[in-house]
Chain A
Amino acid sequence: SYELTQPPSVSVSPGQTASITCSGDKLGDKYACWYQQKVGQSPVLLIYQNSKRPSGIPERFSGSNSGNTATLTISGTQAMDEADYYCQAWDSSTAHVVFGGGTKLTVL
């Protein structure tokens, strides 16, 4: 089955740029999306179709996908961005949804 791999944790200083990666075999040939989940809350869609932002998502969140890696970039990171982030894609061989293991972003 298809697998997505994320680093367990990423740290960033306020105002700096955070990058969270998601790796999978030929992931660049698929469409990745990203979710933010704060403690005790349901996930929120941040990025879909690799780089599109839903209405209401701040412009500091952006996404890219190429080769074997999708990347979520947070520019000018704020304390409120401290959360868990999950990537997700579609496994075309099974029509199943696959999530990465999640990355805890700490804003120091």
Chain B
Amino acid sequence: QVQLVQSGAEVKKPGSSVKVSCKASGGTFSSYSMSWVRQAPGQGLEWMGRIFPILGITNYAQKFQGRVTITADKSTSTAYMELSSLRFEDTAVYYCAREKSIRLSQGEVATEFDYWGQGTLVTVSS
């Protein structure tokens, strides 16, 4: 059974950075992409970006481009998400999620997140 275990809650000052970890077990870490999704208080899910560990390729949502860095350590099956220049509105629960993707008919890709971490609350406060 795949498990994704994230690091603990963080409190950060505006302008600083936060780095959240996500350790995977029970599966083949490098064979899937790992995405990061955040959820602000009372709000919906927001995709931030992904990494494909076996190739080290990353892909970021336009909104976070330049502020987010996603990395992976294949030796420890751990993914990391670092968000810089933190603002009050970055206060949210951050999730890692294993992304399964397959190219199906007419070139369209079916992608879904089949396993999720428990979430890490990042609070930005002065």
Chain A residues in the interface with B (C-beta under 8 A): 1, 29-31, 33, 35, 37, 42-45, 48-49, 54, 84, 86, 88, 90, 92, 94-102
Contacts and interface: CB of A to CB of B under 8 A. Distances in A.
Given A43-B116, A45-B113, A29 B108 contact: yes
B109 A96 contact: no
A90 B45 contact: no
Contacts of A30: 108
A49 B116 contact: no
B114 A54 contact: yes
Contacts of A96: 47, 59, 61-62
Interface of B: 35, 37, 44-47, 50, 59, 61-62, 95, 97, 99-101, 104, 106-114, 116-119
A54 B2 CA distance: 14
B114 A31 contact: no
22 contacts: A1-B62, A33-B111, A42-B95, A43-B45, A43-B95, A43-B97, A44-B116, A45-B112, A45-B113, A45-B114, A48-B110, A49-B104, A49-B112, A54-B114, A88-B45, A92-B108, A94-B62, A95-B109, A97-B47, A97-B50, A99-B37, A100-B44
B62 A90 contact: no
Contact of B44 (A29, A54, A102): A102
A101 B108 contact: no
Contacts of A101: 44
Contacts of B104: 31, 49
Q: Nearest 3 pairs between A and B by C-beta? A: A31-B110, A42-B116, A48-B112
B95 A88 contact: no
Nearest to A46: B112
A90 B109 contact: yes
Nearest to A31: B110
A43 B61 contact: no
A55 to B, nearest CB: 10
Nearest to A33: B112
Of the candidates A30, A49, A97, the one having the most CB atoms from chain B within 10 angstroms of its own CB is A97
A46 to B, nearest CB: 10
A45 B106 CA distance: 24
Given A96-B61, A102-B45, A88 B112 contact: yes
